């Protein structure tokens, strides 16, 4: 083998090794990225589950306070605010339904008319059965 040929072969080998090395590094980077993505996914899945529980907890406290089974001055203000929002939502929904021309309502035990998909009565805060 000539000097030139062996030099060429050496530099080609070096080049090949360099390519392999950066390929390996790229592969590791992808693996790391995938690990980061799956960690982030797992975190957000757990956070979603936790947030659902927060919501359920909040709703159960809301019901207790709305039904006077629990007393808390600060939370009563929050309940009032939620009730206000519920009234507002009902009001806006009925306006929307007038415009779109569709809505089914049901009557709560308290006499208030609520939309059939309401989870809570907008007037008394009672939890409505899903039928």
Asked if 84 and 75 count as a contact pair (C-beta separation under 8 A), the reply is: no
Query: Number of residues in contact with Zn ion, rule: CB under 5 A?
Result: 7
Regarding 123 and contact with Zn ion (CB under 5 A), the answer is yes
Asked if 96 and 88 count as a contact pair (C-beta separation under 8 A), the reply is: no
Regarding 128 and contact with Zn ion (CB under 5 A), the answer is no
Tokens of 8: 């060429």
- CA torsion sign for 87, 90, 94, 100 is positive
Regarding 115 and contact with Zn ion (CB under 5 A), the answer is no
Residue closer to Zn ion by CB (options 65, 121) is: 121
Of the candidate residues 112, 113, 127, 128, the single one contacting Zn ion (CB under 5 A): 112
Span of 9-17, 30-38, 50-58, 118-126 interacting with Zn ion by CB under 5 A: 118-126
């Amino acid at each position: 083998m000539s000097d030139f040929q062996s030099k060429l072969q050496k530099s080609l080998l070096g080049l090949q090794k360099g390519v392999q090395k950066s390929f390996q590094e790229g592969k590791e980077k992808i693996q790391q990225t995938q690990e980061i993505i799956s960690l982030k996914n797992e975190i957000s899945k757990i956070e979603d589950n936790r947030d659902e529980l927060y919501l359920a907890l909040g709703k159960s406290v809301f019901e207790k306070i709305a039904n006077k089974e629990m007393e808390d001055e600060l939370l009563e203000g929050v309940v009032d605010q939620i009730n206000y929002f519920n009234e507002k939502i009902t009001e806006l929904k009925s306006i929307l339904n007038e415009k779109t021309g569709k809505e089914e309502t049901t009557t709560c035990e308290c006499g208030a008319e609520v939309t059939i998909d309401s989870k809570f009565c907008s007037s008394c805060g009672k939890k409505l059965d899903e039928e």
